Structures are given as structure tokens and as C-alpha cells.
Amino acid sequence: MKHDVLSNRRSDGRAAKRRPTPVVAAVLVLIATALVAVPASLAGCGSTTTTTAGGAATIAPAGAPTTTVTLGGEVVLMTHDSFAVSEGVLEEFTAQTGVKVRVLKSGDAGAMLNQAVLTKDHPLADVLYGVDNTFLSRALDAGIFEPYEPPGLASVPPEFQLDPSHRAAPIDYGDICVNYDKAAFTGLTKPPATLRDLTEPEYRSRLVVENPATSSPGLAFVLATIAEFGETGDYTWRDYWADLVKNDVLVVGGWEDAYYSAFSGGSGKGDRPLVVSYATSPVAEVVYAETPVTVAPTGIVAEGAFRQVEFAGVLAGAKNPEAARRFVDFLLSTRFQEDMPLQMFVYPANSEAAVPTEFATYAAVPERAAALDPAVIGANRDRWIEEWTSIVLP
């Protein structure tokens, strides 16, 4: 019905006036696509269903000598965005085995796990590395792993071997704890020594924590408080958090925001001297300082740390399972384990791997770190987060 301004005549208007509305059109298209595409994709062209379903499955005998047969092809490693490794390390694996390594970075740990679970019938990769103990039970229940017991497990302390059926192997561990800005505590106020101290008036408005629903260190800290104060008794973890709220704790969404924008120590530009971070953060401050420093600008509160263990496993239905197993071995080998600390700022699970001197000098390993059974975490995690939310964010 649009007519040219100068025209002396009408042009043909729209012929049909009555047509189905666009909403109906869009829905029709959606339904059509769904009916056509979804069954086709779920039929899974070329997907292979695997044997593992959480029950007994073949386990490679422990202690069997690793063969030195060179395989060809490629192994695909699926991991989270924080994965880092020095140049040349993965090439060594290729030199040893003839297998090329392709890395898929898949977002944060939660997103990565979702992708693995959703594609378990047609996995994206051969090896999954980066599931931590807070997610482990979910991963195991979903049955994404194939059991494999790498020989390197012999060197791993038993407290890290959290999966008796060997579907996931521990690769590294780290501690989440409160970091403090040394510069803020030079006067009379001493940095807090325990979790309970954080509720004292002298630390009012000084602490920033992350939301457990959106941040892994945030969740770890909440778990630490649950482990410390328990669910029942005179003073439960809920009471603790209520006290923290009264003490004006600041809660933010993610670690980057907490550390860089709210924390005042080291490279942080905020104004609060206490933050929930990693026990190795002070080391990173030294290593990544612009001008060399001899003393770390931040310190940790040794009490109330939570131990986080990261696992790797062979994905069920992987295209190259043999290469995948070799790669898991490699992850536990001293070469990789000794490279990890300065790349990812975690400690090696392999007790035979040496820890770099920077760690020894600047990092302190909390003597007593809390740990909760992954199955317990898996069962209660959602409820705990909900309860935390209702206490802290009314």
C-alpha cells in the first residue's frame, strides 16, 4: 500500500490481507524443524554407545607396564578455560607416543561438565580434565567416564583418590582460603587467624567473598564453612554466615571481580583487604609482578581452607581410547606435574613431582584443609547454595 508520492495512479496493493499471524508462523517453523531435526540428531548418526553404565567394567590392571608402542592419530583433550601448559610439554607427549594433542577449551568447569554430559553419546573429546571434587559425583553419576587406572596412581596420596572405581584420576590439588593484603595489616590489627575471627568487629566491612552459585572458589569457601561449623549444633554454618552478613561482608559474582575490583592487595584495585582466593595467589603475585619482589604482597589465612582436587578421565565412547589412556598417564607423569604449578598455580597430586622453589618460598600450604566427600557434596550442594542464598541475600 505504499504509493509513490508523485504517482498519479495507484499501484497494486497487497493481494491477500488475511494471513496467519507471524507468531503462528514462527511456531510452525519451530515445530517443523523440531519434528524433522531432533529425532534425526538423537538417532545419532555415527555415534557409538559404550559399555560403561556405572556398573562393573573392565579395569586395566594396576601396575601393568605402560607399553612404548607408538600410536598415531590424535587425542582430543577437553578442559576448562584455565588450563595452561608450557610450550613444548605437550610436544614431548607427541614425541613419546606419536600422538598429536588437540585442546578444546570449554568454558568454566560447570559449562564444561554440561557439554560433556550432553554429548556423552557422541563425545567431543577423548580425555576430560578439570572436573573438581565439588562436581565429581555429578560427573560419575552421569556416566561420562570409562574406568582406567593409570599406573601413576601409585604415587598419589590416598586422600586424593576419591573414586574407588577409578573412573576419574586425581591430577592436581589446590586450596581455597582467605587472602589478606599485608599492607593493610601493618598496624595494630593483625590479619585474621581463623574463620571465626572474620565475624569480629575489627574485620567489619573488610571481607569480600564470591557467590557460590556462580563461582568455584566461592562455593569452596562455603563448603569450608560447612565443614568447619557443621549443619547441626549450637553454631552452625548458617549462623556463621548470618554473622558475616552482620559484619558487612561483600558478595560479588566472580573471582575476577572480587580479586581485581574489590580486593586491595597485590594487583587488586579495590578497598577491601580480605578476599576468598587461592592459597597460591600470593605466589602468582610474585611471579607476575612487574618489577621483581622478594616478599609476596599478600598472605593467606591458613585456617578454614578448603581442598579442591581436580580429576581427569577417559571419556566413554572416545574415538581414540588407547591414546586417551596414554594421555592420562602423561598427566600424572612428573614432566607434566612439575610444569603445572607455575602454569595453573596448583599443586601436583603426584607426590614424586617436585614443587618449584617459588612455591616453597612464597606459598604456604595450609596444614589443615577441609575436605568433604564428593558424594555428600553432590547430594547437598544445591540445597546448600539455596540456603546460603536465602541467608545472605534476603
Partner 1 sequence: MLEARDLTLHFGPVTALDGFALTVPDGHVVSVLGPSACGKSTLLRVIAGLQSIEAGDVLWDGRSLRDTPPHLRGFGLMFQDYSLFPHKTVAGNVAFGLRMAGMGGAELSGRVDAALERVGLPGYRERSIGNLSGGEQQRVALARALAPQPRLLMLDEPLGALDRTLRERLLGELRQLFADLGITAIYVTHDQEEAFALSDHVMVMRAGRVEQEGPPEEVWRRPAGEWVARFLGLANIVEARLEGGWALTPWGRFQVSAVGAAGVGVAPATPAAVLGTPEARVTSAATARLVLRPDAIGVVPLDGAPDGAAPGAVASARECVAESAPDDTPRGTVVSRVFRGGGYLLLIQVDRGPVLEAQVTWSGVPRIGERVGLIIGAEGAFVVE
Partner 2 sequence: MIAGGSAGSGSTSWRGRPPWGGRPSWPRRLGGLVLVVVPIVYLSYLFLYPLVSILWLSLTGTGRLDLSPFWQIVVRPSLRGIIWFSLWQAVVSTVLTLVLGLPAAYVFARYDFPGKSLARPMVTIPFVLPAVVVGSAFMALLGPTGPLGVDLRRTVWAILLAHAFYNYAVVVRTVGGLWAHLDPRLEEAARMLGAGRVRTFREVTLPLLRPAIAAAASIVFLFTFTSFGVILILGGLHYATIEVEIYRQTTSFLNLGLAAALAVVQMVGVTAILVLYSQYQERRSMELSLRPVRETSRRPRTRGEKTLVAGVLGFTAVFLGAPLVLLVERSFHTATGYGLTYYRALGSTRTGSLFVPPVEAIRNSLVFAVVATIIAVIVGMMAAAVIAYRSDWTARGLDVVLMLPLGTSAVTIGLGFIVALDWPWDLRTSALLIPLAHSLVAIPFVVRTSLPVLRSVRGRLREAAAVLGAPPSRVWREIDLPLVARSVLVGAGFAFAISLGEFGATSFIARPDTPTVPVAIFRLLGRPGALNLGQAMALSTILMALTAVAIGLIERFRLGEGGEF
- Which residues, numbered 3-62, are part of the site for partner 1 (CB under 8 A)? 3-6, 8, 10
* 41 binds partner 2, rule: CB under 8 A: yes
8 binds, among partner 1, partner 2, none (CB under 5 to 8 A by kind): partner 1
Q: Does 176 bind partner 2 (CB under 8 A)?
A: no
200-221 burial code (b ≥16 CB/10 A, e <16): eeebeebbbbbbbbebbbbbbb
Which residues, 6 or more positions from 81, have their beta carbon under 8 angstroms from its beta carbon? 105, 106, 107, 108
Q: How far is the CB of 29 from partner 2 (least distance, A)?
A: 6
17 versus 383: smaller Cβ distance to partner 1: 17
102-117: buried (b, 16+ CB within 10 Å) or exposed (e) per residue? Answer: ebeebeebbebbebbe
Using CB distances below 5 to 8 A depending on partner kind, what does residue 277 bind out of partner 2, partner 1, none?
A: partner 2
Minimal distance, residue 11 CB to partner 1, in Å:
10
CA distances, 143 to each of 83, 162, 320, 329, 388 (Å) = 23, 16, 18, 21, 29
| Residue number, 171 or 252, with CB nearest to partner 2 | 252
Residue 76 in grid coordinates: 582430543
User: Which among 312, 293, 308 has a CA at the least distance from the CA of 371?
Assistant: 308
Binds 115: which of partner 2, partner 1, none (CB < 5-8 Å by kind) = partner 2
In the bound complex, what is the minimum distance in angstroms from residue 322's beta carbon to partner 2?
A: 20
| Per-residue contact flags (x/-) with partner 2 for residues 338 to 357, judged by CB under 8 A | ----xx-x------------
Q: Which is nearer to partner 1, 2 or 383 (CB)?
A: 2
| 169-181 and 298-300 beta bridge pairing | antiparallel
DSSP notation for 251-285: EES-HHIIIIIIB-STT--SSBSEEEEETTHHHHH
Rounded to the nearest whole angstrom, what is the least distance from the CB of residue 17 to partner 1 in the complex?
Answer: 17
**What is the C-alpha to C-alpha distance for residues 265 and 273, in angstroms, rounded to an integer?**
6
CB of 49 to partner 2, least distance (A): 15
Asked whether position 110 contacts partner 2 by CB under 8 A, the answer is: yes
Q: Does 287 bind partner 2 (CB under 8 A)?
A: yes
DSSP 149-165: --GGGGGS-GGG---TT
Binders of partner 1 among residues 68 to 107 (CB under 8 A) are none
Among 50, 129, 138, 223, binds partner 2 (CB under 8 A): 138
Tell me which of partner 1, partner 2, none is bound by residue 76, counting a contact when its beta carbon lies within the kind-specific cut-off of 5 to 8 angstroms.
partner 2
Distance CA 239, CA 231 (A): 10
Should residue 260 be labelled a site residue for partner 2 when binding is judged by CB under 8 A?
Answer: yes
3 touches partner 2 by CB under 8 A: yes
The stretch near partner 2 (CB under 8 A) out of 59-67, 268-276, 349-357, 365-373 is 268-276
Kindly state the number of chain residues that form the binding site for partner 2, as judged by CB under 8 A.
99
User: Taking a C-beta distance cutoff of 8 angstroms, is the pair 126, 75 a contact?
Assistant: yes
Task: Give, in degrees to the nearest 5, the angle at Cα 369 between 300 and 86.
Answer: 70
Assigned C-alpha cell, 345: 598455580
* By CB under 8 A, residue 103 contacts partner 2: yes
Would you give the end-to-end CA distance of the chain in angstroms? 56
Query: Which residues from 70-89 bind partner 2, rule CB under 8 A?
Result: 76, 78, 81-82, 84-87
Q: Which of 53, 59, 95, 118 binds partner 2 (CB under 8 A)?
A: 118
- Which of 74, 108, 197, 352 binds partner 2 (CB under 8 A)? It is 108
Q: If binding is defined by CB under 8 A, does position 290 make contact with partner 2? A: yes
SS3 content of the chain, % helix, strand, coil (to 5): 40, 15, 45
Distance CA 150, CA 356 (A): 25
- Could you tell me the smallest distance in angstroms from the CB atom of residue 3 to partner 1? 4
Using CA atoms in the order 327, 331, 335, 337, what is the torsion angle rounded to 10 degrees? 180
84 binds, among partner 1, partner 2, none (CB under 5 to 8 A by kind): partner 2
Residues that bind partner 1 (CB under 8 A): 2-6, 8, 10
